[in-house]
Structure 1
Amino acid sequence: MTLSLAFHEERRQAVLLLALSCTIVAAIAFSEYLTRATLGVAAFWPANAFLAAGLFTLTGARRPMLAGVFIVSHLTVSLLAGDELLSALLYAIVDLCEAGAVWAVCHRFWNGAPRVRTMRSLAQMPAITTPIALVSALVCASAFHFGYGAPFVETLIDWFLRSALGLAVALPATLVLIDAEHRRAFHRPWTEQLLLMFGVGTIALLCAHPAAGAPPVLIFPVTLAAAYRLGARGAALAAFLTIGIMMPLAVSSGSSPFNPTQDPVVQARTIQVFTSVLFYTCLAAGLAFGQQNRLKRLLLRRELLTRAARGRALAATEAKTEFLATMSHEIRTPLNSVLGFAQLLAAREDLPPDARRQVNLIDSAGAALLTVVDDILDFSRVEAGQIELLPGPTSAAALLQDTVAIMAPEARAKGLSMDLEILDPLGVLHDLDADRLRQVLINLLNNAVKFTDEGRIGARLIIEPGDLEDRLRFEIADTGVGIALDKQGLLFQRFSQTDSSPSRLHGGAGLGLAIAKALVDVMGGKIGVDSVPGRGSCFWVELYAPVAEPGPEPEPAKPPEPGAARILIVDDHAINLEIAAALLTLVGYEVDLAENGGQAVEKAQTGAYDLILMDIHMPLMDGLQATRAIKALRTPTGKAPIIAMSADALPRQVERCYAAGMVDHIAKPIQREVLYAKVERWLHPRPDTPAPN
């Protein structure tokens, strides 16, 4: 690989030396024979710029070789043009020194070879070369004035314009043509490039030829078109082509379209100014188009990188979701047995007191584990943006009272007093999502009880009436350990705790407050904390809610009637079947069992069921396939509501259940109250309950 790169670089250097040598010879002949002004000084001298560009780009012995070509061709062409040997030698030495000075100053200024890629570098180039051209013009003007008696000022001006114009135009144009970045920036077919250059040459000829009479300004649109299509390289080629056509005709004919009424000297200087303006206008446009093209390519690359990163992020999210789904299912399945049998045992009347206490401890531990699993699921819903509010007429005061009542037994068990204060001057209902707000308040109260060993816990509600919305502020204060100021910023972040050391006293996944903050954000409110270490904390929630009209009173739930409903339970785990059957039989339902989806379809074809409880993951035929098959039956059971009863509880998994035709979802481990409520809801639906598919 290294040898191949070295070979290509050697070949590039050889080609570059040959091209610059030919260009220098042609440029010297062009300037001496076609652009000589009245005083015998060329109007345009680009050879010094070509030599300086070669000194920048060539390496090793090729630099002196190019300088030798420059000296020999300079002397030869000058002598053939009629200059004396001493004059020709002076020209060659001054021009060689000028090119060397440009190379040295630019190399020091740019710390290497300059690159013309921005407007700034384009403006810096003539700012450096023009003073050098002025010094060489002073040297030549002094030599001709004292040696040959030539007018000092006229010679100084002509020589300065000759050198300054050549360096200011040819040097940046040559560096642009050599720079590989400009070659890669614009890829156009050769036919288009030739057509553009042909158009530039034709318009330049029409503008410069006295017989055509075309105004010189016509050259600007076509050269700008070349810059637009070919970038800075197109602008440089168009400028060289225009100068090569217009300069000889305008200078040598004596009848230039530039100030035709003025003498030839004024005409020559006018065309010098015109070519400078033309070149810098076109090259500036070419650089601007090139910069725009580079930005487009950069944006494209960044877009591709962003898409790749997004793909990786989606893959990571998918992997995380699958991991959560698997872990949730594997935890919920055995937990269903733990809590189910604990509830069945707790319902027995013949348990001795110590056994009942132990069963209650099992149930409490299982409930704590279930809380952690539910927190993880809630957070996955938050990240997926699948939390939807269901606001309705709600009494904020009653909601806080109920929440405090739920947590009061746990506080009393720790010897804590719990105070409630409500400042509600109007006593009206507000449009709130009661379930989500209760979830936030329970989380705050649970933390207050957990982190308080003695003292009191206070719950406070302050309602301030407003014009359109009322301001509701909930405060949960405790006399617990408190939180250091540097730890308070971690409270509402996921998986973060104020004490993460192995010796910490309190457990938890560190998701509760993060979920609470997400819920409050969705409700358009704010949540925060004020705390002093050792003196306690006060968590607060501020919401703005409009006043709501009271809704219809909910109908009381009817107790199940024994033998009134026949339910089919489908699950591949015998323990899960036993628990569900025992819970439903306990309240009088008639229960039938199926161990997989295939058996469920067979029983649905031959038997009549009022409701079906369906597991998802089963052998032979899973719950989704069984649901679709039962819904396709033309029997009465085909119209029976099917409720998913599964450890698949992630939002995406629940959506799949609904898509298969199920009407509701019960997450394992089964909570007795939830099971009874949902079974009763679909056995005796209200008028506003959607009919099952």
Structure 2
Amino acid sequence: MPQGLAQQERKRQAILLQGLSAALICGLFFSEFLTRTQLQIAAFWPANALLTAGLAVLTAKRGLMLVGMFVTFHLAADLLAGDSIGRALLYTAIDLLEALAAWRVCVRLWGRTPRVRTMRALAVLPAVTTPIAAVSATLCAAVLSLGFGEPLFKTWVDWFLRGALGLAVVLPGALVLVDAQHRRAYRVSLREQGVLLFAVAAITLLCAHPLSGAPPFLIFPIGLYAAYRLGARGAAWACLIVALITLPIAMSGASPRFNAILGPTAQARTIQVFIAVLFYTCMAASLVLAQQDRLRRLLQRREQLTRVARARALAATEAKTEFLATMSHEIRTPLNSVLGFAQLLAKRDDLSPDARRQVNLIDSAGAALVAVLDDILDFSRVETGQIELQPQPTCAADLLRETAAIMAPEIRAKGLELEVDIADAAGRHHALDADRLRQILINLLNNALRFTEQGRISARLTIEPGAAADRLRFEIVDTGVGIALEKQALLFQRASADIALGRMPAGAGLGLAICRALVDAMGGKIGVDSVPGRGSCFWFELSAEPAEQSASPTPAAAAATPAAAGRILVVDDHPINLEIAATLMSMAGYDVDQAASAAQAIDRARKTAYDLILMDMHMPEMDGLEATRAIRALPAPFGAAPIVAMSADALPTQVERCYAAGMVDHIPKPVQREALYAKVERWRRKPAR
């Protein structure tokens, strides 16, 4: 123990010894001279309880000192009260044994210093000390009866009530008063404490005075109020004050309020019961209030910790989002150049077969890297709850066929068969998010392709009509390696499918986790049935309401529409990206102007009414958002040109900023030629407002 703490503990022990010694001596003389019954046995005996409490909280050396004072002043008080030397020695020995027994039992039960902080502890103390008081009463009554001719039963009752009341009331009260936690729990000013305790004393004196007509039960409200304001320490002090005032008055026979008219014996019993009931009523109320206060403070602490944890989580999420945004931009920007030039090279007619194959490999590898980036961004949306569904009238059967057709070349290139099986009696359209549904199907088909070496892959759809909504069940069945039952629970967690199958992931390992999140967002459920060595069946079920078929052309149809002539402005501060975009648009038959900065873009837009503007986001001096706002402020028709973001910023929050600035769409880098043509044709010559 550090020296400072050791010195502080020594000081505390010295104060405890002084306080307990003073209380012990005062209690001995108070009981002997003011509370004796007709058999010369005190009606209230706090000394044994004070010694028990002292032995529990003091060090061994100071405990022995307290025992010495107990024996010395016990003998002195007995002799001064008129007892013979034999009685004095008997009383002192029995009381000492009773206190030592109570101390040993309490320490054994608690394993340390006993504390009265709960209702259970308050109930346990009298339960263990009352039998000890009964044993000591039996011993003392037997000796007094045999040696001094005292009546056995009456002596036993007086001695038992004397010891039991003292241990049951004073011991928990003393433990409460020396407990620092009770002292810290209620920080009430000394003035208020003094006023409350004085009020307790005044009302008690009023109720106990022989000339007063106040009933004794008026003591209970002020005692309970002291417990409410001062806690368990207030309850202990209030009951002690009541005992010190009522016992001398009542035991003298002066107060008819405590059954004085029925005789001294009834007087003593009434006082003992009254003090015990008052103490346990006030102490129980104080402990309940203290428990509620501890729970309230614990709840406040947990709420504070929750707020801190939430703030840290938000900060971590923001840091992660910022990191993803930065890394995505830094990876997509050079990747745009790699894939852009690979696509331009693939269009050349003078390439040798080997060179064309190598260019196609570059394009395939780049597309795989883009898929990884898209998976990471999708999973980021999943974790932040930013998945937004856009249901449109969709034919689920046509969507499954189209998705299977997209995957067919890769599946057949691996030597596998592809089957499409659709059970749709009604052939209705449903309110579905076609893009998200296609994403789920492609992920499941890709997963089946990666883990199937021979056999076939089947894509199945079953639609069961319902009263309000139809049930759609999609199944992707393969003849691959299969999955052990104990590993199937891991499949829809991040990076889990490959681990469950005992393989290193070929991508980000997020495909199935994203599928589950999308299906959950659609209100459906997803699962897998698999047998190791015989293949797997990944399935998901959705409930969808029938919808009327839309007359508007699908994106695929729009993409297939031949591009007409038009003037387009491409804005990018990166020369390579500018060259790629301009070349791709020129190859599609558009007249292309170029701007290497936001200022150039605004100047050109002020002079020419473009059919469409492709705008980069990150540029020096003025970014794409500011440039968009400036162009939107131009008079018609110059400010009405549709502006499409073409940027490596692909996070949802970044895309939202584009729309907020006045852009109509977003094309993520690296730019895919088909996606670029489709979106340009969609917005060409459409006014932005």
Q: TM-score range by the shorter chain?
A: over 0.9
Alignment of 1:379-458 (within 5 A): 379-458=379-458
* CA 285–542 in structure 1, closer or farther in 2 if over 3 Å, else same: same
- Corresponding residue of 2:577: 576
Aligned-partner Cα distance in 2 for 1:692–1:26: 95
What's the secondary structure of 2:246's corresponding residue? helix
Choose which of 561, 566, 590 in structure 1 pairs with 2:564.
561
- Corresponding residue of 1:681: 682
- Greater mean deviation of Cα atoms: 253-262 or 16-25: 253-262
* CA 403–54 in structure 1, closer or farther in 2 if over 3 Å, else same: same
1:153 aligned onto 2:146: no
- Corresponding residue of 1:541: 540
* CA 499–124 in structure 1, closer or farther in 2 if over 3 Å, else same: closer
* CA 545–635 in structure 1, closer or farther in 2 if over 3 Å, else same: closer
Aligned-partner Cα distance in 2 for 1:228–1:77: 37
Aligned-partner Cα distance in 1 for 2:676–2:287: 73
What amino acid is the match of 1:603?
A: R
Deviation, 1:477, is 0.9
Aligned-partner Cα distance in 2 for 1:175–1:325: 62
What amino acid is the match of 2:586?
A: T
Aligned-partner Cα distance in 2 for 1:591–1:220: 95
CA contact (8 A) 2:487 2:500 kept: no
- Corresponding residue of 2:193: 193
CA contact (8 A) 1:627 1:662 kept: yes
CA contact (8 A) 1:605 1:635 kept: no
Q: Which runs of 5+ in 1 are unaligned?
A: 686-690
CA contact (8 A) 1:411 1:417 kept: yes
CA contact (8 A) 2:200 2:219 kept: yes
What amino acid is the match of 1:561?
A: A
What amino acid is the match of 1:548?
A: A
Deviation, 1:354, is 4.2
Aligned-partner Cα distance in 2 for 1:505–1:54: 69
- Corresponding residue of 1:671: 672
- Corresponding residue of 2:209: 209
- Corresponding residue of 1:320: 320
What's the secondary structure of 1:43's corresponding residue? coil
Alignment of 1:311-390 (within 5 A): 311-390=311-390
* CA 684–249 in structure 1, closer or farther in 2 if over 3 Å, else same: farther
CA contact (8 A) 2:408 2:418 kept: yes
What amino acid is the match of 1:147?
A: G
Deviation, 1:305, is 2.6
CA contact (8 A) 2:126 2:168 kept: yes
Report the number of matched residues: 685
Aligned-partner Cα distance in 1 for 2:433–2:220: 69
Aligned-partner Cα distance in 2 for 1:204–1:604: 95
Aligned-partner Cα distance in 1 for 2:503–2:319: 31
What amino acid is the match of 1:513?
A: L
Aligned-partner Cα distance in 1 for 2:341–2:224: 85
CA contact (8 A) 1:429 1:549 kept: yes
- Greater mean deviation of Cα atoms: 203-212 or 284-293: 203-212
Deviation, 1:398, is 1.2
- Corresponding residue of 2:638: 637
Deviation, 1:111, is 2.2
* CA 593–195 in structure 1, closer or farther in 2 if over 3 Å, else same: farther
What's the secondary structure of 1:467's corresponding residue? coil
Output one character per residue of 1:240-286: Cα deviation in whole Å (capped at 9) or x when no partner. Answer: 12222222222223433234552231122022112111111111121
Aligned-partner Cα distance in 2 for 1:640–1:394: 31
Deviation, 1:17, is 0.8
Alignment of 1:209-248 (within 5 A): 209-248=209-248
What's the secondary structure of 2:97's corresponding residue? helix
- Corresponding residue of 1:56: 56
What amino acid is the match of 1:124?
A: V
Output one character per residue of 1:429-470: Cα deviation in whole Å (capped at 9) or x when no partner. Answer: 222211111110111112222222221111111112222222
* CA 658–167 in structure 1, closer or farther in 2 if over 3 Å, else same: same
Deviation, 1:504, is 4.5
- Corresponding residue of 1:33: 33
* CA 505–121 in structure 1, closer or farther in 2 if over 3 Å, else same: closer
* CA 641–228 in structure 1, closer or farther in 2 if over 3 Å, else same: farther
1:619 aligned onto 2:586: no
CA contact (8 A) 2:572 2:595 kept: yes
Aligned-partner Cα distance in 2 for 1:553–1:311: 46
CA contact (8 A) 1:226 1:238 kept: yes
Output one character per residue of 1:549-579: Cα deviation in whole Å (capped at 9) or x when no partner. Answer: 33334386464331x3x33222111111011
Output one character per residue of 1:58-113: Cα deviation in whole Å (capped at 9) or x when no partner. Answer: 11321222122222222222233232333223222221221122112222222232
* Normalised TM-score (structure 1): 0.94
- Greater mean deviation of Cα atoms: 85-94 or 61-70: 85-94
Deviation, 1:185, is 1.8
CA contact (8 A) 1:254 1:264 kept: no
Aligned-partner Cα distance in 2 for 1:466–1:634: 54
* CA 43–535 in structure 1, closer or farther in 2 if over 3 Å, else same: same
* CA 154–504 in structure 1, closer or farther in 2 if over 3 Å, else same: closer
Aligned-partner Cα distance in 2 for 1:284–1:692: 75
* CA 600–500 in structure 1, closer or farther in 2 if over 3 Å, else same: farther
* CA 491–24 in structure 1, closer or farther in 2 if over 3 Å, else same: same
Q: Which runs of 5+ in 2 are unaligned?
A: none
Aligned-partner Cα distance in 2 for 1:662–1:370: 24
What's the secondary structure of 1:447's corresponding residue? helix
Deviation, 1:158, is 0.9
What amino acid is the match of 2:548?
A: E
- Corresponding residue of 1:688: none
Aligned-partner Cα distance in 2 for 1:143–1:416: 104
Alignment of 1:153-172 (within 5 A): 153-172=153-172
What is the root-mean-square deviation of aligned Cα atoms in Å?
Answer: 2.2
CA contact (8 A) 2:253 2:264 kept: no
Aligned-partner Cα distance in 1 for 2:613–2:96: 99
Aligned-partner Cα distance in 2 for 1:300–1:462: 53
CA contact (8 A) 2:342 2:363 kept: yes
What's the secondary structure of 2:461's corresponding residue? strand
* CA 506–281 in structure 1, closer or farther in 2 if over 3 Å, else same: closer
What's the secondary structure of 2:345's corresponding residue? helix
Aligned-partner Cα distance in 2 for 1:467–1:203: 77
What's the secondary structure of 2:649's corresponding residue? coil
Alignment of 1:270-289 (within 5 A): 270-289=270-289
* CA 641–219 in structure 1, closer or farther in 2 if over 3 Å, else same: farther
Aligned-partner Cα distance in 2 for 1:62–1:504: 71
CA contact (8 A) 2:629 2:662 kept: yes
CA contact (8 A) 2:432 2:544 kept: yes
Structure 1 residue ranges, 4+ long, deviating more than 6 angstroms after superposition: none
What's the secondary structure of 2:370's corresponding residue? helix
* Normalised TM-score (structure 2): 0.94
What amino acid is the match of 2:662?
A: G
Alignment of 1:126-137 (within 5 A): 126-137=126-137
What's the secondary structure of 2:60's corresponding residue? coil
Deviation, 1:310, is 2.6
